[in-house]
């Protein structure tokens, strides 16, 4: 029986199974970048444990000339370098796919599968005979493997050599042995493994102007462009690299040329209680401030978030979501903090959330958050996740309009006070629920007020009177409602043909959803898709649901948190929503969405037998 062979050009999934800390990361990244240089879109994902050395890690590379950048599901080629996960890795390969492994020590036939193609290469042997130091042997084994894969798949060796050259610019001593190792791999594969793999890379022109960037770095840059001067944080995966990138960018872009002084202050606080406190203090005093954290940090910050909501203090909170509850799956992705953030803190609270889909939106929305927080005088959350934050993603180039000025919101100045403008800190003067504030130190006799988390009257005087409290709470509600006119609008992707079904999705689900919509259309299942980009919900979302008989809500959490918010806050009948939930910690795949929707659609399309009219 001949085994089927997956043949594909510029459209496949390759997965590397590695051991954490073995130096595989840099070779993996070179591999992914080589596709980009050949004009082929690629989307790599690190799947890693909460550990520094010794545990399994994976690097999954989606290659797609069509530009599908989400996880597809399945695996066409497994590069199995970790004996510990061998059995699990072997299982993941699609029938007709390939297994590439180090056959220095031969394995019995029973350790393989009949329905896949096994490509062995004595990587350790080649590396050991070429190098003597144990560290070199380990590191160059990765590069030898990279050379072999390049030959097998058709990645242009010059492109990889160029990338290695860029990596070791100024460190010529390291450059040569790397290029040698690459050549060793190329030579071996050309000689011994001719046409062993049916997956091919072919130069294309599908990358264009796009950039390749991590979401957390884009978020940090958005905070630089958006004018944040104070950053307070406490290390937590997967958010730490936001603060680290902010530090990095600021040291290049925010040091005053004349004085050498910093136009930023970054505090690695003692905990998240302090980071949000610092942000609150800075926001109260008129500086743009943000913190970056993940679920456990949000839990700790809750009391302060309530204070900032009730006392009306701007704060930008970046939540790079990971698997919860508790420590949960600290290095896996999820969209499971929606409710925790939307209603963070005790008492009646509601917060503004933004949902970026990729680094491009992380950049623009981070800057938007800083504007919104000051315009609305309230905490605003940027809800990213590990999948967007910690992986390089191909996306539109970042854009900034030089005419853009920061929206500092309603701030009453000394001039306005001198001109006799009415100032009452918590009074709605304009009908949008947003009062004026003053910065401390503004005026010698007017505009000072006392900020507190306790109830107060419109002039900020302590008051436990029922009507004062209710006026304030109603105004906050009005302000929240007004926020829906300011936040990013949902985006509609209409189907090619009239559709009964709708789908609502958000954040990092976006690229897999795009691919799933196309797969579904090819099966004749047409779905209008609406990407929700913010809470509070724009009215369009309600209209969208009402114009479809069923709307799928695709999420990466167990409890259908977006659905809950839609039902609660957009007054949508839960019967019109069908949840599709993915929450195993790995990013959602296009195949998963396609399968779920097609199965449910099939079931819904079955006409029920005519019921008794009396029923």
The answer to whether 365 and 225 are in contact (CB under 8 A) is no
192-211: contacts with another protein (CB under 8 A): 209-211
Q: How far apart are CA 333 and CA 294, in angstroms?
A: 11
**Torsion, Cα of 521, 530, 360, 354 (10° steps):** -150
* Least Cβ distance, residue 265 to another protein (angstroms): 5
Query: Residue 54 or residue 397: which is nearer to another protein going by CB?
Result: 397
* Least Cβ distance, residue 361 to another protein (angstroms): 15
Q: Which of 165, 176, 192, 462 binds another protein (CB under 8 A)?
A: 462
> Crossing angle, helix 240-253 and helix 215-225, to 10 degrees?
50
- Is 536 a binder of another protein (CB under 8 A)? no
Question: How large is the C-alpha radius of gyration of the chain?
Answer: 27
568-597: contacts with another protein (CB under 8 A): none
State whether the Cα torsion 89-90-96-101 is positive or negative: positive
* Least Cβ distance, residue 233 to another protein (angstroms): 12
The answer to whether 41 and 202 are in contact (CB under 8 A) is no
Query: Residue 45 or residue 393: which is nearer to another protein going by CB?
Result: 393
C-alpha to C-alpha distances, 284 to 201, 281, 290, 313, 437, nearest whole angstrom: 54, 5, 12, 6, 9
- Is 410 a binder of another protein (CB under 8 A)? no
Q: Which of 307, 434, 525, 588 binds another protein (CB under 8 A)?
A: 307
- Is 444 a binder of another protein (CB under 8 A)? yes
Q: Which of 126, 150, 152, 221 binds another protein (CB under 8 A)?
A: 221
* Least Cβ distance, residue 540 to another protein (angstroms): 30
Sheet containing strand 491-493, strands side by side: 491-493, 527-531, 501-505, 550-555, 577-581
Query: Residue 279 or residue 504: which is nearer to another protein going by CB?
Result: 279
Size of the site for another protein (CB under 8 A): 74
465-524: contacts with another protein (CB under 8 A): none
- Is 418 a binder of another protein (CB under 8 A)? no
Query: Residue 462 or residue 492: which is nearer to another protein going by CB?
Result: 462
Of 552, 596, 561, the residue nearest 324 (C-alpha): 561
What burial class does residue 23 get, using C-beta atoms within 10 Å of its C-beta: 0-12 exposed, 13-18 middle, 19+ buried? middle
C-alpha to C-alpha distances, 376 to 62, 126, 370, 421, nearest whole angstrom: 40, 63, 10, 20
Secondary structure of residue 52 in the 3-state scheme: coil
- Is 222 a binder of another protein (CB under 8 A)? no
* Least Cβ distance, residue 423 to another protein (angstroms): 12
- Is 251 a binder of another protein (CB under 8 A)? no
Q: How far apart are CA 598 and CA 499, in angstroms?
A: 13
* Least Cβ distance, residue 450 to another protein (angstroms): 4
Per-residue x/- track, 362-401, another protein (CB under 8 A): -----------------------------------xxxxx
* Least Cβ distance, residue 185 to another protein (angstroms): 26
265-294: contacts with another protein (CB under 8 A): 265-267, 269-271, 273-287, 289
Q: Which of 335, 442, 519, 579 binds another protein (CB under 8 A)?
A: 442
Of 452, 449, 451, the residue nearest 424 (C-alpha): 449
Query: Residue 465 or residue 492: which is nearer to another protein going by CB?
Result: 465
Of 263, 225, 261, 217, the residue nearest 243 (C-alpha): 217
Stretch in the footprint of another protein (CB under 8 A) among 301-309, 329-337, 470-478, 605-613: 301-309
* Least Cβ distance, residue 262 to another protein (angstroms): 5
The answer to whether 62 and 73 are in contact (CB under 8 A) is no
Query: Residue 394 or residue 565: which is nearer to another protein going by CB?
Result: 394
- Is 566 a binder of another protein (CB under 8 A)? no
Q: How far apart are CA 451 and CA 308, in angstroms?
A: 10
35-54: contacts with another protein (CB under 8 A): 36
Q: How far apart are CA 585 and CA 35, in angstroms?
A: 27
Stretch in the footprint of another protein (CB under 8 A) among 180-188, 327-335, 346-354, 451-459: 451-459
- Is 439 a binder of another protein (CB under 8 A)? yes
Interstrand relation of 265-268 and 230-233 (parallel, antiparallel or unpaired):
parallel
Q: Read off φ and ψ for residue 239, nearest 5 degrees.
A: -105, -15
Query: Residue 103 or residue 247: which is nearer to another protein going by CB?
Result: 247
- Is 346 a binder of another protein (CB under 8 A)? no
* Least Cβ distance, residue 211 to another protein (angstroms): 4
Query: Residue 333 or residue 438: which is nearer to another protein going by CB?
Result: 438
């Amino acid at each position: 029986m001949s085994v089927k062979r997956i043949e594909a050009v510029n459209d496949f999934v390759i997965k590397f199974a590695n051991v954490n800390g073995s130096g595989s990361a840099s070779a993996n990244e070179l591999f992914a970048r080589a596709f980009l240089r050949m004009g082929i879109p690629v989307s790599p994902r690190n799947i890693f444990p909460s550990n520094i050395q010794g545990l399994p890690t994976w690097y999954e590379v989606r290659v797609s000339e069509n530009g599908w950048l989400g996880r597809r599901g399945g695996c066409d080629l497994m590069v199995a370098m970790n004996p510990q996960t061998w059995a699990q890795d072997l299982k993941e390969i699609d029938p007709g796919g390939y297994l590439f492994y180090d056959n220095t020590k031969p394995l019995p036939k029973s350790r393989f599968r009949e329905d896949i193609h096994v490509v062995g290469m004595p990587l350790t042997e080649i590396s050991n005979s070429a190098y003597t130091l144990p560290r070199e042997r380990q590191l160059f084994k990765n590069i030898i493997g990279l050379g072999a894969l390049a030959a097998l798949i058709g990645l242009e060796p010059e492109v990889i050599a160029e990338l290695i050259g860029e990596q070791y610019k100024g460190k010529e001593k390291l450059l040569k042995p790397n290029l040698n190792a690459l050549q060793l791999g190329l030579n071996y594969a050309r000689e011994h493994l001719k046409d062993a793999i049916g997956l091919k890379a072919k130069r294309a022109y599908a990358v264009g102007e796009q950039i390749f960037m991590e979401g957390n770095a884009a978020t940090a840059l958005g905070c630089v462009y958006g004018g944040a001067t104070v950053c307070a944080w406490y290390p937590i995966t997967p958010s730490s690299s936001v603060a680290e990138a902010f530090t990095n960018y600021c040291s290049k872009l925010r040091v005053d040329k004349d004085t050498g002084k910093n136009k930023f202050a970054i505090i690695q606080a003692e905990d998240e209680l302090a980071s949000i406190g610092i942000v609150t203090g800075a926001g109260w005093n008129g500086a743009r401030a943000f913190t970056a954290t993940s679920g456990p940090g949000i839990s700790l910050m809750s009391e302060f978030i309530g204070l900032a909501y009730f006392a009306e203090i701007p704060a930008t909170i970046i939540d790079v979501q990971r698997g919860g509850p508790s420590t949960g799956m600290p290095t896996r992705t999820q969209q499971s903090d929606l409710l925790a953030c939307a209603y963070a803190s005790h008492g009646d609270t509601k917060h503004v959330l933004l949902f970026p889909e990729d680094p491009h939106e992380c950049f623009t929305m981070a800057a938007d958050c800083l504007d919104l927080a000051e315009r609305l005088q309230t905490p605003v959350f940027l809800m990213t996740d590990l999948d967007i934050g910690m992986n390089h993603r191909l996306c539109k180039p970042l854009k900034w309009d030089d005419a853009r000025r920061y929206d500092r919101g309603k701030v009453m100045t000394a001039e306005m006070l001198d001109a006799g403008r009415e100032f009452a800190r918590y009074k709605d003067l304009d009908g949008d629920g947003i009062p004026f504030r003053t910065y401390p130190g503004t005026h010698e006799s007017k505009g000072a007020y006392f900020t507190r988390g306790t109830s107060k009257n419109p002039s900020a005087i302590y008051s436990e009177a029922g009507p004062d409290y209710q006026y304030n709470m109603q105004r906050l509600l009005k302000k929240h409602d007004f926020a829906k006119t300011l936040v990013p609008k949902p985006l509609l992707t209409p189907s090619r043909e009239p559709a009964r079904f709708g789908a609502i999705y958000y954040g990092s689900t976006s690229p897999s959803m795009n691919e799933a919509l196309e797969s579904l259309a090819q099966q004749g299942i047409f779905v209008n898709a609406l990407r929700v980009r913010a809470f509070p919900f724009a009215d369009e979302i309600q209209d969208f649901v009402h114009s479809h008989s069923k709307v799928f809500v695709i999420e990466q959490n167990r409890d259908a948190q977006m659905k809950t918010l839609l039902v609660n806050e957009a007054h949508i009948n839960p019967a019109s929503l069908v949840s599709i939930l993915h929450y195993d910690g790995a990013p959602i795949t296009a195949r998963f969405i396609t399968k779920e929707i097609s199965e449910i659609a099939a079931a819904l399309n079955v006409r029920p037998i005519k019921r008794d009219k009396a029923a």
